[in-house]
Amino acid sequence: MRFQVQSGLLAALAAASLTLIAGCAGGKTPSATCDVASLQAAAPKDTTVVSAAMVDEPVRNCRVEGYVTTTNPGPNKNNFRLQLPEKANWKGRYYFIGMGGSAGYVPTDSQIPAGNPVTAGMAVAGTDTGHQAHLLDWGFLSDPAKAVDHIHRGAHVVAVATQQMTKAYYGVDKMWRYHSGCSGGGRMGMEAISKHPEDYDGVLLGWPGGPHEPGHPAPPSKGTAFEIQVAEMNREPGSWLSPAKLKLAEEKVTAACDMTDGAKDDMIWDHRLCKFDFNSLKCKAGDAPNCLTQPEITSINNILAKTALPISNMRVWTFLGPVPPPWDPTPSTENMPKTSGALVIQTTWARTYLHQPDRDIVKNPLTNAELEQMNAEEKRIGFNVTDTPDISGWAKSGGKALFWVGVSDPCCSNIAVENFLKATAEKGGGADAVAKYAALFEIPGAGHCGGGTGPHDHADQMLLALMDWVEKGKAPDSVVMHRGADRAKLLFKASDDFTTQSGVKIAQAEGVSRDFLVCRWPTVSVFDSTKADVPGAVYDAKNWACKAARG
């Protein structure tokens, strides 16, 4: 599917930036030039500029390569790339790329939103977070220097260095500074606002975690979502759930629960309102494409009962694996289409935290005691501790954080993010106080960071809303998002199909072209029932309104 960057949208960004640069740039200082010596002189002492040259792709920019050396523990290199638009085209904005998974390489483009922000006149920076590895390999966490750099230090020192060079290059002392990412990139954003609130003015956090988080080590009585998925898919012959059977189940569930939110639009906006008896789909005699076998029904029921996976959009239960077991747990890019993401992630964590490099969690499942040990080790090193982070510094900084999560995320529950904001409100002076610096949007139909039957340009539209909040003081109460090549409004130029950005496969939304009015949590989007008989009305955002949540 081909999605075009909207020239009108970029024009609006450019027009707004004329005022922005005048108001934000502050006093002028002599600007650096695009060469190693000049940028090295502008960089902090711990930074080494390896190369700096003007390049023409994707637009004319000064591409800077280098690394920041960290110590105590260390030394360790945090490699980075900085892309600086031609001075006449810079819009006064700096953008830091949040990296999915375990990072492990220097990004060439933004992952969420897709494309390269340099095409929209932004200075762009990214880092490998202090190590080189495959995207789902966390084995480096056993190295104290690499662990602390990946957790938060590496991104911080690179942000400091690249922001300093950016200001020197354009001869300014102020600029608008943004961070955006999802999953591992959302975790990076959470670390930034909790540990280094001075680094950014606005942060877009796609699934950053929170209490009731099912994707990582949890209390041993519940195990983990990934461990449970691996166990269920290997429970007995026929227990694996194929993409075709998940799609069948999704279609039946959607048909049964479509109207739970008051609108017949082939969507389940809140999976908590949906109940379905999968025994009604049981095959009468043997297996068939239009029914579920008893092992498949048992797998679905067990996963729903033991984890926080949502019942909506089951086609995005992608961590189960696109092919049946047995699977290879090797965390390589080449292996991912042939294995289960749940197996790869849970295996690399188990081998790292338990110091068992050959552990086979299928043949030798993790015990409750081992899950507890993994949880303790994770907390000891400070990784993935997102349930009760202190963001009081962010509240004082004046920054704005826009949280988002797919309602149908199969990795990481939207309920977890709700619980995080509730906990933040309890400790931070109440919901009204938190609303001044943090907001949550739950994306209907979306899986982990995208895909499903939700909008395609959700991250693009939320970044625009975040910039309005930061630069104009306009807090977003709702955001209109779009699905379909003829409606999606994307900010950055990228590859034609947008399926892979900076080494990460980006899931594409499916379904007919439509709009989504997505409301700021805890309000919900409600369709005007008087338009129910008007063809296409349910797909137009103007026929929806934000109202208090039901019940």
Mean pLDDT of 52-79: 97
Mean pLDDT of 372-386: 86
Residues 6 or more apart from 154 whose CB is under 8 A from it? 68, 70, 76, 78, 127, 128, 129, 130
Beta bridge partners, 68, equal: 47, 78
The pLDDT value recorded for residue 419 is 87
The pLDDT value recorded for residue 44 is 98
Across 444-453, b (16+ Cβ under 10 Å) vs e yields: bbbbbbbbbb
In sign, the C-alpha dihedral spanning 284, 285, 290, 292 is positive
Query: What is the C-alpha separation between 185 and 62, in angstroms, rounded?
Result: 25
pLDDT 10s digits, 103-151 = 999 999 999 999 999 999 999 999 999 999 999 999 999 999 999 999 9
Q: Which CATH number is correct for 7-213+386-547, 3.30.70.20, 3.40.50.1820, 3.30.1130.10, 3.40.50.300?
A: 3.40.50.1820
Residue 386 tokens read as 């997102």
Q: Give how far Cα 31 sits from Cα of 27, 36, 86, 241, Å.
A: 12, 14, 12, 58
| pLDDT over 50 (residue 249) | yes
Mean pLDDT of 454-475: 97
The pLDDT value recorded for residue 390 is 84
What's the chain's average pLDDT? Answer: 90
The pLDDT value recorded for residue 508 is 78
* Nearest alpha-carbon partner for 123 in 39, 29, 37, 23: 39
Percent of the chain at pLDDT > 90 equals 79
Mean pLDDT of 264-284: 97
pTM, two decimal places: 0.93
pLDDT 10s digits, 530-550 = 999 999 999 999 999 999 986
| pLDDT over 80 (residue 63) | yes
The pLDDT value recorded for residue 6 is 52
Question: How confident is residue 551, by pLDDT bands cut at 50, 70 and 90?
Answer: low
463, exposed or middle or buried, with CB in 10 Å at 0-12, 13-18, 19+?
A: buried
Query: What is the C-alpha separation between 484 and 65, in angstroms, rounded?
Result: 37
Percent of the chain at pLDDT > 70 equals 88
The pLDDT value recorded for residue 2 is 38
| pLDDT over 80 (residue 102) | yes
The pLDDT value recorded for residue 524 is 98
| pLDDT over 50 (residue 14) | no
543 in Cβ contact with 527 (< 8 Å): yes
Question: How confident is residue 499, by pLDDT bands cut at 50, 70 and 90?
Answer: low
Beta bridge partners, 70, equal: 76
Query: Residue 237: is the preceding peptide bond cis (ω within 30°)?
Result: no
pLDDT 10s digits, 24-40 = 544 455 689 999 999 99
Question: How confident is residue 384, by pLDDT bands cut at 50, 70 and 90?
Answer: confident
The pLDDT value recorded for residue 308 is 85
Mean pLDDT of 258-266: 96
In sign, the C-alpha dihedral spanning 200, 201, 206, 209 is positive
Question: How confident is residue 502, by pLDDT bands cut at 50, 70 and 90?
Answer: low
Residues 6 or more apart from 33 whose CB is under 8 A from it? 39, 169
Question: How confident is residue 316, by pLDDT bands cut at 50, 70 and 90?
Answer: very high
Mean pLDDT of 229-250: 97
| pLDDT over 60 (residue 7) | no
The pLDDT value recorded for residue 211 is 59
| pLDDT over 80 (residue 520) | yes
Query: What is the C-alpha separation between 278 and 248, in angstroms, rounded?
Result: 11
Phi, psi (rounded to 5 degrees) for 285: -155, 105
The pLDDT value recorded for residue 23 is 42
Residues 6 or more apart from 403 whose CB is under 8 A from it? 205, 208, 417, 420, 421, 438, 439, 440, 441
pLDDT 10s digits, 324-368 = 999 999 999 899 999 999 999 999 999 999 999 999 999 999 998
| pLDDT over 70 (residue 198) | yes
| pLDDT over 80 (residue 257) | yes
The pLDDT value recorded for residue 207 is 84
Question: How confident is residue 389, by pLDDT bands cut at 50, 70 and 90?
Answer: confident
What residues does each domain of the chain span? Answer: 7-213+386-547, 225-381
The pLDDT value recorded for residue 472 is 98
Question: How confident is residue 401, by pLDDT bands cut at 50, 70 and 90?
Answer: very high
pLDDT 10s digits, 168-195 = 999 999 999 999 999 999 999 999 999 9
